[in-house]
Amino acid sequence: MAHVSRWLVDRGLDGGDLTSAVVEEFLQARRAAGYGQWLSLRGMAPLLDYLRGVGIAPARSPVVANSAVEVLLAAYEAYLVGERGLAVSTVRNYLHVARQFVSGQCVSERAELDGLTAARVSEFVLAGCRSRSVGSATLLVVGMRALLRYLHLAGVTQTVLVGAVPSAASWPASSLPQPINRGQAARLLNSCDRRTAVGRRDFAVLTLQLRLGLRVSEVAALELSDVDWRHGEILVRGKSHREERLPLPADVGEAVAGWLRHGRTQCASTRVFTTLLAPRGELTGKAVSAIVKRAACRAEIPAMTAHRLRHTTATDLLRSGASLPEVGQVLRHASMLSTAIYAKVDHAALSAVVRPWPAGAR
Q: Is 262 a catalytic residue?
A: no
Q: Active site includes 294?
A: no
Annotated catalytic, 333?
yes
In angstroms, the CA 126 to CA 227 distance is 48
CA distances from 311 to 18, 218, 326, 327, 346 (A): 45, 15, 14, 11, 12
Residue 213, sorted as left (phi over 0), alpha (psi -120 to 50) or beta, turns out to be left
Active-site entry in 215, 264, 311, 332: 215
Do 156 and 113 touch, CB atoms closer than 8 A? yes
CA 155 to chain centre: 31
Told to judge if 149 belongs to the known catalytic residues of this protein, a careful annotator would answer no
Q: How far apart are CA 124 and CA 140, in angstroms?
A: 10
Residue at 313: amino acid letter:
T
Catalytic residue from among 30, 211, 310, 332: 310
Is 94 part of the annotated catalytic residue set? no
Per annotation, catalytic residue among 99, 239, 280, 308? 239
Catalytic site residue 293? no
**Which of the following is catalytic: 271, 307, 308, 319?**
307
Quick one: CA torsion of 265, 46, 199, 252, rounded to 10 degrees?
80
Q: What residues contact 211, with CB distance under 8 A and at least 6 apart?
A: 249, 251, 252, 313
Give start and end residues of each alpha helix (H) in the chain: 2-10, 20-32, 41-53, 68-82, 88-104, 118-129, 134-153, 182-190, 197-212, 216-220, 250-262, 285-298, 307-319, 324-331, 336-339, 347-353
Active site members: 215, 239, 307, 310, 333, 342
